Every structure is written in C-alpha cells, then in structure tokens.
Structure 1
Amino acid sequence: MVTKVRSESVDVVVTGTIKTVSDTQAIKEAVLKAHTSHIDVPIRLFLQDSFIITSSLIGFLIKVIKMDHYALIVEVGSLELYEMLEDMNLIEIMNVRKASV
C-alpha cells in the first residue's frame, strides 16, 4: 500500500487481494491518516488488484463517507469487484468508480 499526496487529492493505492483482517485494518488506518493529515483534500482509494473486499471494509467506507462526510472516492481496477459492488447497490453509496490507471 502506498499513499501519494497530490495537490488535488491524497491517493491511497492498494495492490494485491484484500482478504485478511490485517489487510482491512491497514487500509482503514491509511484512510484515517490521510484524512487527518490532509483534512481539506479529497481521498481517492485505489483498489488496483483485489476482486473482493471484506464486509468490515465496506462498512467502514460507508461510515466515513455517509456519516463522517469524508470526501472519498473508491476506484476499483477489477471488473469483478466493480460488478459485485454494483450488484449490492453500493456504487453510489461508496462513490465507486472504475479505475482509469
């Protein structure tokens, strides 16, 4: 996982498959740190490779977007993950986009 600070956003780039509790915890911590360090800059969470994500990560992302009002966009590189989130009606709720990178 890599965090890149840009003038228009803070990018949190996650490679590999997200499948363990520690994977999820690391992503949560990176998003929270990005928000705390750069409170006025949107966060873009890039899930480059993973075709699945844990339910606790989904819950966390919904919470920070809808309840805590983080400016956060989730970009997914896997069509399979995008379609799964679409089937769960989470595209709009979680600000999901197909990754352009």
Structure 2
Amino acid sequence: MQRDHFYHDGQWKNLQDRMQAISDNGKIVLPYYAKDAHIVTTGPDVVVQILLDGKTIKSDDSGQDTKNGFVHISEYRLYNIVSSAQPSSHTIISHPGFQIYTFTFG
C-alpha cells in the first residue's frame, strides 16, 4: 500500500462531497506519516473503532476524540483520532457505519 492513499473495503456510496459506508463490513485503511490524524465526518450517533497498525489504538496515541479505541460521531465536525508524541508511519483502520469527508494530518 502506498502512503497517503486511502483504501476502502466493503460497499460505499460515493456522494458529491463524501463517501458513506453502506455495508456492515465497510472500512477505510490509510497508511500515513504524521503525529496527528483527524477526520471530518458526521453522524448521527455512529461509533467507529480506530485501529493503529492493525491493533486497538493505545491511550498514548489516542486523539482527543478517541476513547478506549472508539470515536463517537454525533455531529458534523473535525475529530482528532490520533495524537502521537513523535511523527511516524502508521496505518489507520476505521470500521463500518460512517461517512467520511476528508482526512487531515499534523
């Protein structure tokens, strides 16, 4: 997989400004190099599991909006999902049931 390209699995609906998971096995895999990772997304009331390099994200690497490896998406906004001490290469895997507008990194 190429860094900074995202890969999706399952069935997705490609809308004008976002992608929406329409199958129970929908997920996004995104290899990247950064300290922080964010998503712009919307609910209503969707819980998304965040895996870092195939494992449940540890609290040391969890972003402000990630609690115990999960992000509760309740409104349209930017969610901070990963916040590591040092920039490094990781793969984010987000599980089914959400809409994605974009990823941003810091």
Q: TM-score, normalised by structure 1?
A: 0.34
TM-score of the aligned structures, taking structure 2 as reference length: 0.33
Higher helix share goes to which structure?
Answer: 1
Q: Higher relative contact order by CA 8 Å / sep ≥ 6: 1 or 2?
A: 2
Richer in strand (by share): 2
